[in-house]
Amino acid sequence: MRYTNPRLLYFTLLSPVFFTDMAYYRGAVLRYRLFSVLRKMKKKYKKKEKKKNDKLEPKTKLHGEEEKLHGVLKTAEALVSEADDKLKKSVIQKDIEQVSVAQAMLEAARQMMTQANQSLSEVRRKRDSIAAVGY
């Protein structure tokens, strides 16, 4: 818009229509600035959460592995107790086949327990090293 007359320009600037247009423009600019600030804040928050999750991720993985290995140990203990009961019954009945089955169950349970204990010690060593680093 071109205004040739300065007096007309002055009255145009003071007119309510011009002020409403300017208010709309100022509101739009303000909204744009607020949304850009919000976008920046969201990006910072996402980066912060990602760093936090990256720090927690090794701990949660190790915790899951440790729980799994504890479950394997409980299973092996149950297998040992069951094999022990079976062995006692088969010795009383003098059943050689059942004795060999019970011995195989005991061997399998002991092997499971040794593997789980070795893995558990490795997981604990990793957890201690992560704790020492400061995650």
Q: How many C-beta neighbours within 10 Å does residue 116 have?
A: 19
43-87 pLDDT tens trace? 888 888 887 777 767 777 788 889 999 999 999 999 999 999 999
Tell me what pLDDT residue 114 has.
93
For residue 1, tell me if it sits in a domain: no
Residue 112 lies in a domain: yes
Q: How confident is the model at residue 119 (pLDDT cuts 50, 70, 90)?
A: very high
Q: Please state the domain count of the chain.
A: 1
Please tell me the predicted confidence (pLDDT) of residue 73: 93
- Band of residue 91 on the pLDDT scale cut at 50, 70, 90: very high
- Segment 57-66, tens digit of pLDDT: 777 778 888 9
Q: Is residue 21 part of a domain?
A: yes
- Rounded to whole angstroms, how far apart are CA atoms 75 and 69? 10
For residue 85, is it within any domain?
Answer: yes
On the question of pLDDT at 123 being above 80, the answer is yes
Supply 40's token pair. Answer: 């920046």
Residue 3 confidence class, pLDDT cut points 50, 70, 90: very low
Pick the closest to residue 112 from 134, 65, 80, 83 (CA basis). 80
* Assigned domain for 63 exists: yes
Residue 13 lies in a domain: yes
90-99: average pLDDT: 90
Residue 82 lies in a domain: yes
pLDDT tens, position by position, 7-35: 555 555 555 555 566 666 666 777 777 77
Label residue 38 exposed, middle or buried (CB < 10 Å: 0-12, 13-18, 19+). exposed
- The range of the structural domain enclosing residue 24 comes to 6-133
